Structure 1
Amino acid sequence: MIRPMTLADYDDLITLFTTTPGISVRDADSRENIDRYLQRNPGLSFVAEEQGRITGCCMAGHDGKRGYLQHLVVATSARGSGLGRQLARACVDALAAEGILKSHLFVLKDNQDGHGFWRQMQWKNRSEDFEVYSWIEGDNPNV
Structure 2
Amino acid sequence: MNVPDDMDTTADINIVPMIDVIFAILTFFIMSTLFMTRSEGLPVNLPNAETAETQRTEAIVVTIDPSGELSLNRNSVALPDLADQVSQLKGDRDSALVTINADTEVSHGIVVSVMDELRTVEGAQLGIATQRSQSQAVQ
* TM-score over 0.5 for the pair: no
Q: Radius of gyration: which is bigger?
A: 2
TM-score (norm 1): 0.32
